[in-house]
Structure 1
Amino acid sequence: MCAGCFKLIWIAGTVYYVAEAEDRLYIKTLGKIIDAKLPPVSNLSFGIGTFGNAFYFGTHNSLFKAVFAPPDVITVTYLRDKLEDEKFHNGLCL
């Protein structure tokens, strides 16, 4: 992970690092980096929303959920296809 090439997202005490130059989602906890491979798609739109310990994000046509399960697992789950007239807003509800 290189400095300056990622976005930081803070959710309920967990910082998610989203590498823009890669296809991985990172979390740093207790000095250890945990990562998860993101879906093999382009046009990711990070920061759609949060709820509890879940981070929701989307692509141009699908919604996904990432959940950190301590001590060392990030689970990325496909939720559903984007609705025909649905708009994604790049913001977080903290």
Structure 2
Amino acid sequence: MRRKDELGVLRMVLEEQYERHSTQLALLDRQAGDSRCRGGDADTAAVLTASSRQALGDIARALHYLDHDAYGCCEQCRTEIPIEHLAQHPAVRFCTSCEP
């Protein structure tokens, strides 16, 4: 399979993840409103909300890079990130050598 085709598959994965996190964030927002009335665990909800927002930002950035033919390229050294690494971590920004 060519890299372009593999990146197309990863786009679908990223879009599915984006939809899943968007749905989770909407549910958390609704539960936050309900829990205020019932005294729910605000700390847990805040952590889950922050995590979903971070994931959405990472995925949105990856999709933006895909749209501009910059996806899969290390932000630091500009080398191609192996497709296997992208498949495991689709929103990754750095190659394994440059990962902070």
TM-score by length of 2: 0.23
The structure where helix makes up a greater share of residues is 2
Instruction: Report which of the two structures shows the higher radius of gyration computed on alpha carbons.
Output: 2
Which structure has the higher relative contact order (CA within 8 Å, separation 6+)? Answer: 2
